[in-house]
Amino acid sequence: MTPPKREIIYVDAEGDKENGYKISLYHMNTNEKQNMELRGVNDMAEAEKYAVYYAMFYIKRNGYDNSIILSDSKSAINDLILDFLSKELNVKMSWVPSEINDIAHKGCNLSATKNKEFDILKIFIRLSKKSYIKELQSDFIAETEKLKVKKAYIKELKNSLIEEIEKLKEEKERLKAKIKNQAVQIKKLQDKEMN
């Protein structure tokens, strides 16, 4: 049985604060190129993340099951929210050198084809971030519950140890009294023998 075909998608971003930013997507399997101008994006790192988000949106919208997104931005590939989303969507992400990503980079120079989808992309990103935060909250609650259980166990263990220490102190005092009593009896016996 042959493994399912992997959808390979290259993404890139280009621009600056003065002229704005563009993102580009190249789907190698279909030879499809898409790009869009970004509004309200402040720097290149953010634009690179938008490119990866757009690829995930594209994958989800087209129902691709076995996909990999290739980007020359290490910060986008290592982004925690994008990593979470890639796992949720079962999408692989990988860094490639910029010379390998040239086809996506050149796409940024073409006229924008998908500007109408920018608002949808922003909603997709917002929902992805909310989902990530919800997951973090769930993890936090689960960890908090585990800590509560551990704390209760430690408290119980501490109380048990205190109880044992008290018993040992009582035993020590009892043995001390017994030794003292025996010392008195030995002394009496010695005194008796001397008399």
pTM here?
0.70
Among 78, 71, 42, 39, residue whose Cα is nearest residue 55:
71
Euclidean distance between CA atoms 7 and 69, whole angstroms: 9
Query: Hey, what CATH topology would domain 7-139 get?
Result: Nucleotidyltransferase; domain 5 (3.30.420)
How many alpha carbons fall within 13 Å on the CB side of residue 186? Answer: 6
Extents of the domains making up the chain? 7-139
List the chain pLDDT tens, one digit each, 195 residues: 666 689 999 999 998 888 889 999 999 999 999 889 898 898 999 999 999 999 999 999 999 988 999 999 999 999 999 999 999 889 999 999 988 888 787 877 777 766 677 778 888 888 888 988 888 898 899 999 999 999 999 999 999 999 999 999 999 999 999 998 888 888 888 888 886
CA 126 to chain centre: 18
pLDDT of residue 118: 79
